[in-house]
Structure 1
Amino acid sequence: MSNAKPWIANYPPETAPSLEYPRVPLTFFLEQSAAEYPDSYAIYFMGKRITYRELLQMSYQFAHGLIRRGVKKGDRVAIMLPNTPQAVVSYYGALFAGAIVVMTNPLYTERELIHQLNDSGAETIITLDLLYKRVSSVKASTPLKRVIVTSVGDFLPFVKKMLYPLVQKKQGHNPQIPYGSEVEPFLSIIKESATTPVKTEIDPEADIALLQYTGGTTGVAKGVMLTHGNLIANAIQCQAVLYKLKKGKERILGALPLFHVYGMTTVMNKGISIAAEIILVPKYEVKQIFEMIDKRKPTLFPGAPTMYIALINHPDLKNHDLSSIEACVSGSAPLPLEVQSKFEELTHGKLVEGYGLTEASPVTHSNPIWDKRISGSIGLPWPDTDCRIVDTATGEALPQGEIGELAVKGPQVMKGYWNRPEETAAILQDGWLLTGDMGYMDEEGYFYIVDRKKDMIIAGGFNIYPREVEEVLFEHPMIQEAAVIGVPDPYRGETVKAFIVFKKGQQASEDEIEKHCRERLAAYKIPRQYEFRSDLPKTMVGKVLRRQLQDEDKKRREAKSSESKTS
């Protein structure tokens, strides 16, 4: 492969192949938007609105509060919150204080929490009253010194705020928090602190802004070190690709969790960099999403395929108008063509597939939104992002059209894994990040992911990529969701098993599905086993957990074989 970058020729004229990145801390975006649009709304949350001026002031107040409690530059501060204003204030407040943010999934079990807090060395955590019990039960096994507690009610409009404790009681949630010197309420820290600016010396290239733990789907979760420079670059690249978005004019539907790097970049950092109003959705419920779209008319809706699937298959869909949505970038899982076309038909906006990984802040590719896009492709590399396909055995670059491992290089690529030099060296070589995803590039520079290196199924010597089989299953009119894994086979080594969720009130037999696959797939790729389910296990961002399906399947087989031995 020559060094030419064939994808640049396919960039729309509005997107420059190389961009300017200011050498500033990530907090610069918030200060800039608050200076230019002080009275514009930054956040909408369940009826409550917060302006850019207020958001900046509260972030300064929170930074002062942390510094007064002994948080120094480089200290790790964990944030374990759903999408609420407090999550945004804590994030920017910690960064103003010079701390490193550790985003923590509110669904983490005690075991996962203990690992993350010990690995990162976080001594401060900001959490929800409803999660306090879980945090306090792990405190003794971790470096935690202070817990800052907030409630969903803290930022509700006056009437809702009054009613909130009653609603909580009714639902059986009545958390009793033992406030004291080590456990403090979030609001009182804000109220006691000054609104004067906080300045910490930051070197954007070297200083870490974020430790983002990669989902432990591949073993133990590792802390990805993302610098201020990495996160600034990805937000600016995002702006160059979504060039039609106007500063101070957009409304972003924040349904992706901010504790996940995809939501953090495409909703929060990106939103704040263009002074957009961020409509925070703490929990993805279709009815609530419809209501938000009706009421707040978002223009941008970054999401995951499962979010769009849930909307377009909902019986209430016909009663709602989705036409305010101009652009959506779908990530975290492959976007089926069916879903893309149906969603675009409903919104008259554009829905394109993108690609990224935590180690790249996270986005590296997407299809041009208002230009030539290719279904099934993750699109073109983003500005200043170099890509190549390498041979997994030799590391040599492969010619176009050949399948190998995707490697990427660019200003958004992480500094490395926290305290894991060997693992960093294995995946980061001369600035090239090995993604673990198998793919190829066509002659125009569009990239295609065929699957995770680890998920590939080898049946009778043939390589089978689960994604290809899933795409075919998705085309079946009765099927809402499908996931494919390899299971042991005495003859072929491995064979294909499909897990299927039907659309509401629909059904199809194994024979019908097999006939459908036979018309579209080579014989060796056709699933040999089927399991029909009401849902599939997923991460918070809607990525199907194939690993969990494999574990369940393995347990079932082991139980069966021990039964047959005893009988």
Structure 2
Amino acid sequence: MKTEIIRPWLEQYPEEVPASLHYEHRPLQDYLREGAIEEPDKVLLHFMGKEMTFKEVYEQALSFANALIEKGIKRGDRVAVMLANTPQSVISYYGALFAGAVVVQTNPLYVERELEHQLIDSGAKAIICLDLVYPRVMNVYNQTELDFVIVTTIKEYLPFPKNVVYPFIQKKNTGLTVEVSYNDWTHRFSDLVNNYPAKETAVHIDPAEDLALLQYTGGTTGVAKGVKLTHRNLVANTTQCIRWMYKIDHGNEVLLCALPFFHVYGMTVGMNFSVMDRNKMVILPKFDPKQALKTIHKQKPTIFPGAPTMYIGLINDSQIDKYDLSSIDVSISGSAPLPLEVQKTFEEKTGGKLSEGFGLTESSPVTHFNLMWGKRPDGSIGLPWPDTDVAILSAETGEPADPGEVGELMIRGPQVMRGYWNRPEETEATFNNEWLLTGDMGYMDQEGFFYIVDRKKDMIIAGGFNIYPREIEEVLFEHEAVQEAVAIGIPDPYRGETVKVFVVKKEGVDVTGEDLDKHCRKYLSAYKVPRYYEFREELPKTMVGKVLRRALLDEEKEKQKQLS
């Protein structure tokens, strides 16, 4: 492929953002250390009424690191963190890095099969988990290379009296009371951070070579793979994020962290951004629209990184107008396409800016973002970030495509992964020389703004025509009765495939398939109009709100089997 890349997007950059940045040659945890030394009493996190300063988080992370080292964790060993957003998740993450370990972020909702796969594949030596998931961990323990388990509870970091009443609330909500047997291989988190010294470790880290993170892909398109991200990858992507947000009040912002830190998006744009830029993060252990509205009203966050489903949940809450959302100046949307109507409505409700970006686990994750305070073409994922090259690979020529021509996005930059863990063949297949093949189909316009038309694997081919689900979904979102929508291709004996959509209606609003069909025919070519409409109470989603399209496809395949 030609190496010369034309970069029209640089002409769109505001003067405050340079085309190339300086990335410090430092391990990621260094930024927590620096914050604790220079501003020890500054609040880093707020959790359900409890606040912790940079110094407090740093010292507990060091104690945790020394506990890991004493228990046998060495540089390069993998340590799994299976926690919801809590102070413990921040302490464990940075503590593992101080110990020289590689963090393996693990979804607390994983069933045993998923957990076993990730622990075996990564070769994790230790895992930190909540008491509620401890039984799942122990059910797979003997099949893994785990040497020990560290258990914590939500109540440990709650203020009084919440810490007293929480166990009763937990039992009422879950029906579970978990008894943990502490022994030589099962340790209490609070014992480790309280009984080990908060002293610097002597572990040497090479930021350019040493891994900081094994981040597993969501598994929405196949078996989850471990993405190898170095300290430099994560420092670079967080630096890019900070510099792109050039108008914010650096060091004095308050981030609403409802995106899970175990997802690479929430980790970079929420947790690492807050630590490196020295902002306060208000942590929510899970996203609930009513809880989020109350938190915004009371804690006055100024930056809200989220997923489209979060913004959809808020703007469709019947009580939204009772809360003051005006503190939110900047909202950063990612993980799934942001419907234009959702963007407009959320901006009206807050008075702030909501812009969409794009990325993938393999790029730490962000590669593109719209201008927060500048031109934002409708439907665009924005411009490549500094030092990030993007090309559209033409399916016809195998060379960079012309502006306006649809092809596969390829990316190179300092945030791009080292490859997949223990999967050299898949790593090789994912790279075209130094370019990362994203699997996303899109195009660049004449000004350098990029647009995604869909995932390569999600494309529907009906009667020889290529149909991109996102285009259909955008049209459906414009209908006043539609809260959520997803389109898939299902087998068709004549056309090969045809379009089916799943729709969640807004509360109190009724609509029929015929109504939606009329709406779609106004805005879509006949071959793109869905043939089938199915209404659901909810859609299957990942923890960050990305619709599991593959789960719906599997449902349809099972129906076809039963009919044949």
**What is the TM-score normalised by the length of structure 1?**
0.98
Structure-2 residue corresponding to 1:564? none
Q: Among residues 471, 475, 492, which one is paired with 2:474 in the alignment?
A: 471
Equivalent position amino acid for 1:256 in 2: L
Structure-1 residue corresponding to 2:251? 248
* In structure 2, C-alpha distance between the alignment counterparts of 1:371 and 1:224, rounded to whole Å: 33
* In structure 2, C-alpha distance between the alignment counterparts of 1:393 and 1:192, rounded to whole Å: 63
* In structure 1, C-alpha distance between the alignment counterparts of 2:89 and 2:192, rounded to whole Å: 15
The alpha-carbon deviation at position 166 of structure 1 amounts to 3.1
1:439–1:450 Cα contact (<8 Å) kept: yes
Structure-1 residue corresponding to 2:301? 298
* In structure 1, C-alpha distance between the alignment counterparts of 2:269 and 2:354, rounded to whole Å: 14
Equivalent position amino acid for 1:130 in 2: L
Secondary structure of the equivalent of 1:531? strand
Matched, 1:57 2:59: yes
* In structure 2, C-alpha distance between the alignment counterparts of 1:28 and 1:393, rounded to whole Å: 47
Structure-2 residue corresponding to 1:369? 372
When the two structures are aligned, how many residues end up with a matched partner? 561
* In structure 2, C-alpha distance between the alignment counterparts of 1:518 and 1:340, rounded to whole Å: 24
Secondary structure of the equivalent of 1:54? helix
* In structure 2, C-alpha distance between the alignment counterparts of 1:318 and 1:261, rounded to whole Å: 32
Structure-1 residue corresponding to 2:444? 441
Structure 1: tracts of 5 or more residues without a match:
562-567
Structure-2 residue corresponding to 1:452? 455
* In structure 1, C-alpha distance between the alignment counterparts of 2:392 and 2:63, rounded to whole Å: 47
1:40–1:248 Cα contact (<8 Å) kept: no
Structure-2 residue corresponding to 1:133? 135
Structure-1 residue corresponding to 2:421? 418
Equivalent position amino acid for 1:112 in 2: E
Equivalent position amino acid for 1:78 in 2: A
- Structure 1 residues 39 and 554, CA, compared in 2 at 3 Å: closer, same or farther? same
Matched, 1:409 2:416: no
Secondary structure of the equivalent of 1:158? coil
The alignment yields a C-alpha RMSD, in angstroms, of 1.1
Q: Among residues 10, 13, 16, which one is paired with 1:14 in the alignment?
A: 16
Matched, 1:317 2:343: no
Structure-1 residue corresponding to 2:290? 287
Structure-2 residue corresponding to 1:232? 235
2:39–2:54 Cα contact (<8 Å) kept: yes
* In structure 2, C-alpha distance between the alignment counterparts of 1:282 and 1:200, rounded to whole Å: 31
* In structure 1, C-alpha distance between the alignment counterparts of 2:164 and 2:495, rounded to whole Å: 64
Residues 229-268 of structure 1, C-alpha deviations (whole Å, 9 max, x = no match): 0000000000111112223211100000000000000000
Structure-2 residue corresponding to 1:553? 556
* In structure 2, C-alpha distance between the alignment counterparts of 1:270 and 1:322, rounded to whole Å: 22
2:47–2:87 Cα contact (<8 Å) kept: yes
Q: Among residues 38, 41, 46, which one is paired with 2:40 in the alignment?
A: 38
* In structure 1, C-alpha distance between the alignment counterparts of 2:213 and 2:248, rounded to whole Å: 26
The alpha-carbon deviation at position 160 of structure 1 amounts to 1.4
Residues 102-122 of structure 1, C-alpha deviations (whole Å, 9 max, x = no match): 000001110011110000000
Equivalent position amino acid for 2:226 in 1: G
* In structure 2, C-alpha distance between the alignment counterparts of 1:98 and 1:393, rounded to whole Å: 46
2:234–2:268 Cα contact (<8 Å) kept: yes
1:81–1:87 Cα contact (<8 Å) kept: yes
1:179–1:185 Cα contact (<8 Å) kept: yes
The alpha-carbon deviation at position 560 of structure 1 amounts to 2.6
Moved more, 315-324 or 502-511: 502-511
Structure-2 residue corresponding to 1:95? 97
Structure 2: tracts of 5 or more residues without a match:
none
1:252–1:298 Cα contact (<8 Å) kept: yes
The alpha-carbon deviation at position 431 of structure 1 amounts to 2.0
The alpha-carbon deviation at position 394 of structure 1 amounts to 5.2
Matched, 1:543 2:546: yes
The alpha-carbon deviation at position 199 of structure 1 amounts to 3.7
Equivalent position amino acid for 1:77 in 2: V
The alpha-carbon deviation at position 507 of structure 1 amounts to 1.5
Secondary structure of the equivalent of 2:187? strand
Secondary structure of the equivalent of 2:161? helix
Equivalent position amino acid for 2:189 in 1: F
Structure-2 residue corresponding to 1:151? 153
2:5–2:391 Cα contact (<8 Å) kept: no
The alpha-carbon deviation at position 557 of structure 1 amounts to 2.2
* In structure 2, C-alpha distance between the alignment counterparts of 1:266 and 1:168, rounded to whole Å: 29
Equivalent position amino acid for 2:429 in 1: A
Q: Among residues 522, 530, 535, which one is paired with 1:532 in the alignment?
A: 535
* In structure 2, C-alpha distance between the alignment counterparts of 1:246 and 1:61, rounded to whole Å: 32
Matched, 1:384 2:381: no
* In structure 2, C-alpha distance between the alignment counterparts of 1:549 and 1:170, rounded to whole Å: 32
Q: Among residues 488, 504, 515, which one is paired with 1:501 in the alignment?
A: 504
2:306–2:332 Cα contact (<8 Å) kept: yes
2:84–2:261 Cα contact (<8 Å) kept: yes
Moved more, 27-36 or 4-13: 27-36
Secondary structure of the equivalent of 1:359? helix
* In structure 1, C-alpha distance between the alignment counterparts of 2:397 and 2:192, rounded to whole Å: 55
* In structure 2, C-alpha distance between the alignment counterparts of 1:338 and 1:386, rounded to whole Å: 30
1:37–1:248 Cα contact (<8 Å) kept: no
Matched, 1:72 2:74: yes
The alpha-carbon deviation at position 215 of structure 1 amounts to 1.0
* In structure 1, C-alpha distance between the alignment counterparts of 2:299 and 2:202, rounded to whole Å: 35
The alpha-carbon deviation at position 303 of structure 1 amounts to 0.4
Secondary structure of the equivalent of 2:227? strand
1:256–1:263 Cα contact (<8 Å) kept: yes
1:33–1:274 Cα contact (<8 Å) kept: no
Structure-1 residue corresponding to 2:354? 351
The alpha-carbon deviation at position 32 of structure 1 amounts to 1.7
Structure-1 residue corresponding to 2:225? 222
The alpha-carbon deviation at position 51 of structure 1 amounts to 0.3
The alpha-carbon deviation at position 123 of structure 1 amounts to 1.3
2:368–2:383 Cα contact (<8 Å) kept: yes
The alpha-carbon deviation at position 423 of structure 1 amounts to 0.5
Moved more, 420-429 or 460-469: 420-429
Structure-2 residue corresponding to 1:187? 190
Moved more, 212-221 or 459-468: 212-221
* In structure 1, C-alpha distance between the alignment counterparts of 2:171 and 2:319, rounded to whole Å: 31
The alpha-carbon deviation at position 393 of structure 1 amounts to 6.1
**What is the TM-score normalised by the length of structure 2?**
0.98
Residues 71-97 of structure 1, C-alpha deviations (whole Å, 9 max, x = no match): 000000000000000000000000000
1:436–1:453 Cα contact (<8 Å) kept: yes
Secondary structure of the equivalent of 2:306? coil
* In structure 2, C-alpha distance between the alignment counterparts of 1:200 and 1:6, rounded to whole Å: 43
The alpha-carbon deviation at position 227 of structure 1 amounts to 0.2
The alpha-carbon deviation at position 540 of structure 1 amounts to 0.7
* In structure 2, C-alpha distance between the alignment counterparts of 1:345 and 1:524, rounded to whole Å: 35
The alpha-carbon deviation at position 4 of structure 1 amounts to 2.4
